[in-house]
Amino acid sequence: MEEQKQEFSQFKGQPRLPKFAIPNCYDLKLKPDLAACKFTGAVDISVDVVSVTKFLVLNAAELSVSPDSVNFTSNNKVVEVFDVEMCEKDEIIVLEFEENLPLGVGVLSMDFEGTLNDKMKGFYRSTYEHNGEKKNMAVTQFEPADARRCFPCWDEPACKATFKITLEVPAELIALSNMPVIEEKINGNLKTVYYQESPIMSTYLVAVVVGLFDYVEDHTPDGIPVRVYCQIGKVNQGKFALDVAVKTLGLYKEYFAVPYSLPKLDMIAIPDFAAGAMENYGLVTYRETALLYDDKHSAAANKQRVATVVAHELAHQWFGNLVTMEWWTHLWLNEGFATWVSYLATDRLFPEWQIWTQFLEESTEGLRLDGLAESHPIEVDVNHAREIDEIFDAISYRKGASVIQMLQGYLGPECFQRALATYIKRYACSNAKTEDLWSVLQEESGEPVKRLMNSWTKQKGYPVVSVRVEGQNLEFEQTQFLLSASRGDGQWIVPVTLCCCSYDARKSFLLQTVSGSLDLKEFSCASVSNVSSWIKVNVDQTVAGTRKLDGPIVFSVSALIPFRVANAESAALIFGVLSFLRYLNGPAKGSCERRSANGNVASLSVVVPNCVPAKSTTALAN
């Protein structure tokens, strides 16, 4: 292998780490000082050197690394470090050794120290009160790219490795990490806690929490212990989340056809927490309001929030943790799928909540953002870690979940579920790109999933689909929706599902061009002699777009839902389908509607007689 000339300057300003070496295992020791708000640490990283080099480049930020502690050992030979350079702007540490590193497996060792910051990222401190005294706890929050603020590492999602973690903490405190404790040694006022080695995982999923806690515990039918940790005195408020977690693990095992992959699951409420929750592998951290529920004092809406957040984070244990995105460009694979699957689980556990009607309403948040000219695609090219936070928004979560719901509706629930199970088994303990998922779904269904979904994930915006009757044809036309009312040039492949006179008689097709038509004679029920015939477009509201009804809408006296449309076109163009429904004058007495928990109309089924003149609309979307 030919050696290429390398120097420190070539590593500055680069968006990704060079792949001179691949990490296999981190043997990580941390000692937090909760009084001084500092920590010290040491790490031995087993790496596989794959290129001829004198350099190793890792991520590190806001850490002080002792140059004298840095060395590389391979086959009992120690290679001394020549220079250690920290580049704070790029959040990297560049290690130059005195000679080329031996190819193959070796161990990189170093000591470091840092501050338990108050920024709620990296290794930080949170505060709580116990017996009237204010105390500190140590907490980690590493997603998206803040493991580097706790220990030097290859802080990229594709750089998966195993982790052996050891904590030295005050003897009276609880110390938690991703894996179960295998041994504790007490030495005076301190104890050293050793944890079982983890399976392969990304650095952003590593977690440590140290503090004074109580917990409530249960077990899955498989015997996996599940605990909810919280401040002392609040343990009863963790029982609802515990029950949801135990049941959800069983649901996901059944749905994904893959069991939960760790020997335990801990969930913990943190007083100071930036996000709603974080899916750390085996140790999920939550804002207190997202995990704790007081059945005597909490609002009913908080109970639903706890259930959906727990279901979301546990979905990540499969979709995100077991199978991880290759790079942050594919973030929506994590968040869109976890959002969608969390509704699936919540609906199974609490059908009385009618959570899917709320899903429709909440999805409009992503669509409203997506109607702006400054929107972004679901799948965004991320060049540098500092760009990642910009795409944690409703488009990643809400619109991402909407297009997944659309695809599931088109392929069918059984086919979709089989494909997801295949995908998870194929990429378990590995990384995947968006295209990998499309390939599996395409293999399973025989449908052009890649082409269909690329039109939704790789371009911003969404279409307004107009529906009208021309003679014996149902005519469709799509235009891009923009809040500015200007005309966009986007074009999508739109899955359209229709039913005629019965929800059991469905037909699906792909609108692959700007316009298309469907022969009404294909529907045996759509007879002009049958005045009660009707066709419903976008059954179950699975298409992530807006439907516009083009032309005069005529109702007969016997229409089941007799109301008129007021300013339908502008309402549909400005606010999307839910606000479009609010523009309907009515509903009148005898109408059918479903409402979400807060009273907003979530979907409406409209029956229109098939006895109207040609060029009138006889098909309505939900």
Q: Output the known binding site for Zn(2+).
A: 312, 316, 335
Do 490 and 481 form a contact (C-beta atoms < 8 A)? Answer: no
Residue type, 116: L
Which DSSP letter does residue 332 get?
A: H
Angle between helices 434-445 and 413-427 (to 10 degrees): 130
Query: Kindly report the CA angle at 23 between 18 and 28, in degrees rounded to 5?
Result: 125
Residue 408: which H helix or E strand, with range?
A: helix 400-411
Place of tokens 């991880």: 324
Q: How far apart are CA 611 and CA 618, in angstroms?
A: 8
Q: How far apart are CA 177 and CA 207, in angstroms?
A: 5
Extended beta strands in 231-320, E state: 265-270, 277-278, 283-287
Q: How far apart are CA 547 and CA 569, in angstroms?
A: 10
Do 620 and 500 form a contact (C-beta atoms < 8 A)? Answer: no
Q: How far apart are CA 525 and CA 527, in angstroms?
A: 6
Annotation says 313 is catalytic: yes
Torsion angle, CA of 585/588/594/600, rounded to 10 degrees? 40
Q: Cα 176 to the chain's mean position, in Å?
A: 24
Q: Which residues are annotated as a binding site?
A: 312, 316, 335
Q: How far apart are CA 400 and CA 520, in angstroms?
A: 33
Q: Which of 143, 156, 313, 362 is catalytic?
A: 313
**Count of other CB atoms within 10 angstroms of residue 169:** 22
Find the farthest-apart pair of alpha carbons in the chain and give their distance in angstroms, rounded.
Answer: 92
Torsion angle, CA of 612/613/614/618, rounded to 10 degrees? -20
| 297: helix, strand or coil | coil
Q: How far apart are CA 563 and CA 585, in angstroms?
A: 6
Q: Which two tokens stand for residue 270?
A: 């943190």
Do 341 and 323 form a contact (C-beta atoms < 8 A)? Answer: no
Q: What are residue 340's DSSP bridge partners?
A: none
Place of tokens 């070539």: 10
Which of 509, 477, 495 shows the shortest CA–CA distance to 544?
A: 495
Q: Examine residue 587 and say whether the peptide bond preceding it is cis (omega within 30 degrees of 0).
A: yes
- The catalytic residue positions are 313
